[in-house]
């Protein structure tokens, strides 16, 4: 009798265990219950990546600038102030690598003619550092326009990455000429184009359009033309003829930059940055009632 009671108790325990396991499996298979978000919790603001409207530079700021020829003639100390790892990977001949923050700690440099060489798309930040150093007694410090590209330039065509195009746009370093882009594509460029051309334009037509535009408004000291084509294929068709055209020109003109990979490369960069910003700026879900 005792044995039958014990067997009944075991059977009942087995049924309860099976029921519990079944309920657990069913709950795992069900979709997650919607999580509440705290409405009073401040949500992060995501960047819009809209076209930049660069703020003008003051006369005091432009007084901090110098060109490559002037920098070489000054026979001063040229400082590579790029990120230390970048300066180590690609050292610049004729320069001294020195972190920007370390200059103020070297009072023996105050009487030296110093030229700061940045990454080429950090003009506004370097200009502010230049003014700050001048206030600390470094009266002969200057910023090299064009940065590393100007110092180590070996040709009259600059190739820019999408990141450089976006960063330099906020500093007012580009006057954009779009080639074969539609209205939506133009609206997403780092700055509004000064010249808009059809896809059928050739290299000579681009050069003529730039000359006309510069006749109406000459380039500012910090500005450089940036050509944005439709894609890498369109760029490959135009660039060799452009290089041949400018090589036949005897006059010394400011190099023209090209966005490497064209509009499609810039679009990919924007999408990547927006996704990263959205992921980093998205508030974490909070439990209901929390």
Per-residue confidence (pLDDT) for residue 32, from 0 to 100: 46
| CATH number of the domain within which 249 lies | 3.40.250.10
The domain boundary, picked from 116, 135, 153, lies at: 153
Please tell me the pTM assigned to this model: 0.78
Does residue 87 or residue 9 have the better pLDDT? 87
- Summarised one tens digit per residue, pLDDT across range 45-95 is 555 677 878 899 999 999 999 999 999 998 889 999 999 888 889 899 999
The domain boundary, picked from 119, 153, 187, lies at: 153
Indicate the number of domains in the chain.
2
The domain boundary, picked from 153, 176, 191, lies at: 153
Per-residue confidence (pLDDT) for residue 41, from 0 to 100: 41
Task: Decide if pLDDT at 289 tops 50.
Answer: no
- Summarised one tens digit per residue, pLDDT across range 160-213 is 999 999 999 989 999 999 999 999 999 999 999 999 999 999 999 999 999 999
Task: For residues 129 and 144, state if they share a domain.
Answer: yes
Domain span at residue 176? 155-280
> Could you give the CA distance from residue 194 to residue 277 in angstroms, rounded to a whole number?
29
> Could you give the CA distance from residue 181 to residue 87 in angstroms, rounded to a whole number?
36
Per-residue confidence (pLDDT) for residue 284, from 0 to 100: 46
């Amino acid at each position: 009798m005792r044995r039958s009671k014990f067997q009944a108790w075991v059977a009942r325990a087995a049924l309860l265990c099976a029921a519990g396991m079944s309920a657990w499996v069913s709950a795992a298979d069900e979709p997650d219950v919607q999580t509440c978000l705290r409405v009073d919790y401040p949500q992060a603001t995501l960047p819009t990546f809209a076209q930049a409207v660069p703020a003008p530079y003051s006369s005091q700021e432009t007084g901090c600038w110098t060109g490559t020829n002037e920098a070489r003639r000054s026979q001063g100390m040229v400082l590579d102030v790029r990120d230390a790892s970048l300066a180590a990977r690609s050292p610049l001949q004729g320069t001294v690598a020195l972190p920007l923050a370390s200059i103020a700690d070297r009072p023996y440099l105050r009487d030296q003619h110093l030229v700061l060489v940045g990454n080429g798309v950090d003009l506004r930040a370097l200009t502010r550092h230049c003014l700050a150093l001048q206030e600390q007694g470094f009266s002969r410090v200057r910023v090299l326009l064009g940065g590393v590209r100007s110092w180590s330039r070996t040709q009259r065509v600059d190739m820019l990455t999408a990141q450089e195009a976006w960063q330099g746009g906020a500093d007012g370093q580009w006057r954009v000429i779009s080639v074969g882009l539609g209205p939506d594509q133009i609206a997403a460029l780092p700055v509004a184009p000064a010249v808009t051309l059809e896809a059928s334009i050739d290299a000579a037509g681009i050069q003529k359009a730039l000359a006309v535009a510069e006749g109406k408004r000459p380039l500012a000291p910090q500005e450089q033309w940036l050509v944005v084509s439709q894609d890498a294929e369109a760029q490959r068709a135009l660039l060799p003829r452009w290089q041949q055209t400018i090589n036949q020109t005897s006059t010394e003109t400011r190099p023209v930059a090209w966005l490497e990979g064209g509009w499609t490369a810039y679009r990919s960069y924007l999408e990547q940055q927006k996704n990263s910003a959205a992921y980093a700026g998205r508030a974490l879900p909070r439990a209901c009632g929390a």
